[in-house]
Amino acid sequence: MNWLHHLIILPILLPIITAASLIPLDERNRTLKGVIGFASTLIVFLLSVLLMRTVAASGDSGSGASVYLLGNWPAPFGIVLVLDRLSALMLGLTAVLALATQVFSMAKWHRAGHHFHSLFQLMLAGLNGAFLTGDLFNLFVFFEMMLAASYGLLLHGSGPLRVKAGLHYIAVNLAASSLFLIGVSLIYGATGTLNMADLALKISTIGPESRMLMEAGAAILGIAFLVKAGMWPLGFWLPATYSAATPPVAAIFAILTKVGVYILLRLSMLLFGSDAGASLGFGQPILLYGGLLTIGFGAIGVLASQAMGRLAGYCVLVSSGTLMAAIGLGNGAVIGGALFYLVSSTLTICAFFLLIELVERARDAGADVLAVTMEAYGDVDENEEEKEGGVAVPGTMAVLGLCFCICAILLSGLPPLSGFLAKFAMLHGLFNPGSFGGDAPVSGAEWTYTALLILSGLSAMIAMNRVGIRTFWTSIEGTIPRVFLIEITPVLLLLVACIFLSLQAGPAMRYMDATAKSLGEPQNYIGRVMSAPRAGPAGGE
Amino acid sequence: MELVLSAGIGVLTASGAWLLFRPRTYQVIIGLSLLSYAVNLFIFGMGRLRVNAPPVLEPGGTGGLLTHTDPIPQALVLTAIVIGFAMTALFLVVLLASRGLTGTDHVDGRE
């Protein structure tokens, strides 16, 4: 057991330590706090790249997951952290988003309230923990940690609008957490284990009376994640919340819905995958049709929203609906493309949330109120935006416009960028299952999925065009926004990351396909967890 | 015993859910608290009900699952209580902030 193995726990440990050490520092040293937080995130990012490379290198020989036994207890009894391709990918994505938003916040937004950087680090710890844990109850703990920090971040900057959105957000999530606990305890009551791998082993052997309880538990647990992912009847809180949050917070929240999607993907592939016996494919129709409805609802919302913040919120819904439906299709080839879409759309939405704030500085509030029915807009803290005195970058509007165009192309899925490649990969997988499945004819649901995928792109394009024209063309006499270099750089870097993803689509798709393949063969994951060697003399290693 | 516990959980859940859908923030927070009590009791129940059985060890022997109650739900419920308590406290602060900023205790910030 070499030292590299212990790196698995660092993405959780390091942000917690950083968050704790930032608290005693005086609030006036915000920049110092920001730099320390940034350094910590940077280390986590480098770590996640290292972990991803390790996993990718070992994955080809069929091993894949590496398991870290906390407290050195053997697997089904102790708590485990599991790093496989999927969790490594999510760690990397989180770190990229965190880097960008953290730099952006340091221009001015972290001054809007207390302890921004501590909360931010705690949320990262919760996110990383949720991606790494191999145990349902620990998932709850990390999930709550992430949510608790996100409540604080959402309320960052205060104001009636944010407090109202925060009130709703907290109430919805507390109710969802209750469901989470009910689901977890039902599953425990029915199977006697909380370890995901052990659970997957026991699922095929439990009796019919326990199976009913277990499936009820899994369904209730699923609702908690569907609330987080914003599935149609459960996602009405999302656009209001995201558009009320301060821009860097909204940008990092783009990953929060993906936590719900990640866990749905992980659990449905692990527990109800090929070995599930009578529970095979449990919940998939719900995911599929719920996802389709979410895409539809999101696409209509995108068309209907006047404010850019709400537009971005509905884009989040479209993105998570697309992913949920892709999981619900239960086709490994689609899931490979869906993972690519997950990375691409999350990066894009994060960049878009950051960009919105920069663009909206150019529009004076009066014109906005006249132009559209934005009841939500009136309460935004105007004073704060007036008093900053940055260097006006020459051609600010040109740069912003360019970024906006790239965002529009990515969101609507037009060639040549990664948004198009992702949708193409999903549709290609849908019609050519290849090694992942038989030659079953394309079903009605799959046709609907195809149509909705393309139509949602169209509606995003229409909405982005309309907003873009109104912002960049018809407002010539509008004020040129003052944008700090430190604010536009993260946006540019996120978009460059998307472009890089498009250029390196070959290797990226190979990684995603291998991830989908390993998800489709949970035996490997289960075997690695259950036979994880213990460290030290007791484990005989 | 089973009947008492299940009726208790049912009543708590029902009143909690009803209060959760009320328009006043104070009702919502009491509803959430009741729900979390119900959930905590439910977690206990999932370890199977056992009267007068020791949770972990008894003096002079290690025992087994036949003579002991399941200790895991008790550990879980402890975590759930702590987290639920902290979240309720946080929600209370947000509730007060909302009351102060909007001048009303309606969940939407206006009557």
SS (H, E, C) chain B: CHHHHHHHHHHHHHHHHHHHCCCEHHHHHHHHHHHHHHHHHHHHHCCCCCCCCCCCCECCECCCCCCCCCHHHHHHHHHHHHHHHHHHHHHHHHHHHHHHHHCCCECCCCC
Which of the residues A145, A181, A191, A221 would you substitute to probe the B interface, choosing the one with the greatest number of B C-beta atoms within 10 Å? Answer: A181
Measured between beta carbons, which residues in chain B are less than 8 angstroms from residue A182?
39, 42
pLDDT band at A280 (very low <50, low <70, confident <90, very high): confident
**8 Å CB contact of A167 and B20:** no
Most confident by average pLDDT, A482-491, A528-537, B5-14: B5-14
Nearest C-alpha of chain B: how many angstroms from A151?
9
Residue B111 belongs to some domain of the structure: no
A190-204, A259-273, A390-404, A438-452: the lowest-pLDDT one: A390-404
What per-residue confidence (pLDDT) applies to A53?
86
Nearest-10 crossing angle of helices A522-530, A256-271: 90
A52-56, A62-66, A76-80: the lowest-pLDDT one: A62-66
Specify the higher pLDDT residue, A441 or A190: A190
User: Does B33 touch chain A if contact means CB atoms closer than 8 Å?
Assistant: no
Measured between beta carbons, which residues in chain A are less than 8 angstroms from residue B76?
137, 184-185, 188
What per-residue confidence (pLDDT) applies to A439?
59
Which whole number is the average pLDDT over A139-167?
90
The residue with tokens 């995958």 is: A273
A119-123, A330-334, A499-503: the lowest-pLDDT one: A330-334
**8 Å CB contact of B73 and A164:** no
Mean pLDDT computed over every residue of chain B: 86
Sequence length of chain B is 111
Share of chain A above pLDDT 70, in %: 88
**8 Å CB contact of A166 and B94:** yes
Nearest C-alpha of chain B: how many angstroms from A54?
34
Nearest C-alpha of chain B: how many angstroms from A142?
11
Whether the predicted pLDDT of A530 surpasses 60:
yes
Interface residues of A toward B, Cβ cutoff 8 Å, are: 137, 140-141, 144, 148, 151, 155, 158-160, 163-164, 166-168, 170-171, 174-175, 177-178, 181-182, 184-186, 188-189, 194
Three-state SS at A67: strand
Of A137, A160, A170, the CB nearest to B101: A160
**8 Å CB contact of B72 and A194:** yes
User: Does B14 touch chain A if contact means CB atoms closer than 8 Å?
Assistant: no
- For A214, name the nearest residue in chain B, comparing CA atoms only: B46
- Nearest CA to A342 out of A271, A276, A407, A259 is that of A259
Nearest C-alpha of chain A: how many angstroms from B32?
7
Three-state SS at A47: helix
**8 Å CB contact of B95 and A164:** no
Tokens, residue B34: 């009741």
Residue B109 belongs to some domain of the structure: no
Specify the higher pLDDT residue, B103 or A124: A124
Whether the predicted pLDDT of A387 surpasses 50:
no
Whether the predicted pLDDT of A484 surpasses 90:
no
Tokens, residue A189: 């009551």
A58-62, A154-158, A447-451, B6-10: the lowest-pLDDT one: A58-62
Residue B29 sits in which domain range?
A: 2-56+66-102
- A80 and A5 in contact (C-beta within 8 Å)? no
A15-19, A109-113, A210-214, A296-300: the lowest-pLDDT one: A109-113
**8 Å CB contact of A141 and B72:** no
Residue B61 belongs to some domain of the structure: no
User: Does B30 touch chain A if contact means CB atoms closer than 8 Å?
Assistant: no
pLDDT band at A368 (very low <50, low <70, confident <90, very high): very low
pLDDT (tens digit per residue) in A71-83: 888 878 888 898 8
pLDDT band at A8 (very low <50, low <70, confident <90, very high): confident
Three-state SS at A135: strand
- A398 and A362 in contact (C-beta within 8 Å)? no
Which whole number is the average pLDDT over A23-49?
89
The structural domain count of chain B equals 1
Q: Which helix (H) or strand (E) holds A82?
A: strand A79-83
A99-113, A361-375, A395-409, B61-75: the lowest-pLDDT one: A361-375
**8 Å CB contact of B39 and A137:** no
**8 Å CB contact of B107 and A171:** yes
Which whole number is the average pLDDT over A448-459?
91
Could you tell me the sign of the dihedral formed by the alpha carbons of A216, B85, A77, A261, in that order?
positive
Whether the predicted pLDDT of A381 surpasses 60:
no
**8 Å CB contact of A168 and B107:** yes
Residue B108 belongs to some domain of the structure: no
Whether the predicted pLDDT of A340 surpasses 80:
yes
- A230 and A289 in contact (C-beta within 8 Å)? no
Residue B13 belongs to some domain of the structure: yes
Mean pLDDT computed over every residue of chain A: 84
Share of chain A above pLDDT 90, in %: 37
Whether the predicted pLDDT of A292 surpasses 90:
yes
- For A142, name the nearest residue in chain B, comparing CA atoms only: B83
Residue B107 belongs to some domain of the structure: no
**8 Å CB contact of A141 and B83:** yes
The Cα–Cα gap between A287 and A329 comes to: 8
Here the CATH number for the domain that contains residue B29 is 1.10.287
Nearest C-alpha of chain B: how many angstroms from A194?
10
**8 Å CB contact of A178 and B35:** yes
**8 Å CB contact of A155 and B94:** yes
A248-252, A445-449, A480-484, B80-84: the lowest-pLDDT one: A480-484
What per-residue confidence (pLDDT) applies to A401?
86
pLDDT (tens digit per residue) in A314-334: 999 999 999 999 998 877 788
Most confident by average pLDDT, A30-34, A235-239, A292-296: A292-296
Nearest C-alpha of chain A: how many angstroms from B60?
24
Measured between beta carbons, which residues in chain B are less than 8 angstroms from residue A148?
86-87, 90
**8 Å CB contact of B28 and A171:** yes
- A-facing residues of B in 47-106 (CB < 8 A) are 47-48, 72-73, 76, 79-80, 83-84, 86-88, 90-91, 94-95, 97-98, 101-102
- DSSP secondary structure code for residue A441 in this structure: P
Measured between beta carbons, which residues in chain B are less than 8 angstroms from residue A166?
94
**8 Å CB contact of B76 and A137:** yes
Nearest C-alpha of chain B: how many angstroms from A300?
24
Whether the predicted pLDDT of A183 surpasses 60:
yes
Tokens, residue A158: 């205060």
**8 Å CB contact of A163 and B97:** yes
Share of chain B above pLDDT 70, in %: 88
What per-residue confidence (pLDDT) applies to A467?
87
pLDDT band at A89 (very low <50, low <70, confident <90, very high): very high
Which of the residues A185, A379, A381 would you substitute to probe the B interface, choosing the one with the greatest number of B C-beta atoms within 10 Å? Answer: A185
CA distances from A16 to A142, A457, B16, B83 (A): 12, 39, 34, 17
pLDDT band at A131 (very low <50, low <70, confident <90, very high): very high
